[in-house]
Structure 1
Amino acid sequence: MVITKKYVMAGMSILVGASLGVTAVSADTTTDGTVTLQSPTGGNGEDLNLATNKLPTNLNFGTANIKYDQSIEQIATVDGNQASAPTTTDIQVTDNRGDLTKGWKLKVKQATQFTSTVNQAELAGAELTINTGDVTNIGGDLPTGGVINTQDYVITPGVDVEVFKASPGEGLGISTLPVNQYKLSIPAAAKKEADTYHAQLTWTFSDTL
């Protein structure tokens, strides 16, 4: 009978020991992982880039017959022919600064009204409209402009028009604003010379909001 008791107690002792061993093995151990990201060029300004090669160098609205009974509307095309493909643009901004406290914006300005080549006469009331599509982004949140799907920007001579903007924390990575069409509207009552009229657009890109 005594041997039996000793056997039972020894068995119980082994079981308790095994239970304590399992508890020790289950202790948690942590491993830390780190990675450091930096702007490619050290934040010298090249980390924020407007792809100027994607902006049009010329907008050719072609040739239209003079008339006063109705307005004239011309679309900028690859060769000025209204039956040809319209001039389009992908305005592309790359932001690799890695700074969530900064944004950027793009403005366009038509310095003066369309004027004739010979007499420098203004084409009174002529209006340029830029039609844009859906903004896309790779790598971050859509710029503020992304909440507007299709937008017509009417360009008033002498006035800066903001066409693309990212508030702080937006627009990281590559943001693209497609321009679907450039349209010139000339009022019926505008005095018109048989001449070529000219105007110039200036695009201004800045990280100052």
Structure 2
Amino acid sequence: MDIESQSPVAVAPGVQTHAETSRHSLRLDNQELVKTSFWISQVFMIIATVAGVYLAAKEGLSQAIAFDSLMSQQNNYHLRHALYDELADNVQILTAYADKIEKERPFDIKRHHPAVATFVWENMRFSQSTLETPSEILSASRRFHSQSADIIDKLEAKFYGPTYGVKELRLVIASMEQQTLPALKRDYEALGESLRRAGVLEDSK
């Protein structure tokens, strides 16, 4: 029988050939690849968005903390500067008082009661910045006020004689003038220099 004269094998309807199956599979693979790429891109977009929000929030928080710190330092600077000025004024007032009592030795000492300023010291009780002031400065200021007031009360009550009372008062004044005031000045000036470098405080003219 002649092989060349044989007819091609008929393919039943609905049955795909190998080539057609391969082309169909390729189309399916391409569709799946497109879908997979889409979702991968979406995932990376979400990750990038979340990361961006996180970094922005972190940077914003850092800036807020830095700003709050600078404002706290500025409040501390003004508070300590004001305390220094008040204490320095009181040193002058009490020195003049001691000189007067020592030289004139008035009989009615109460008439010469010194007008010591306590506005800043008393209002420091209501400031959040007070306890940020170095403890040794706060303690020295507290002792200065209490000891000087006690000596003046005893002078006026004649419990202390003028000579002894003035001597005790000068010791309190000397401690404030020679130790506490210089330490307080160094403290607020260092704070002021830090604020000037940060551009928060202008140079005094």
Fold similarity call, TM over 0.5: no
TM-score, with normalisation over the residues of structure 2?
Answer: 0.31
Higher percent of residues as helix: 2
Which of 1 and 2 has greater Rg? 2
Higher percent of residues as strand: 1
TM-score, with normalisation over the residues of structure 1?
Answer: 0.30
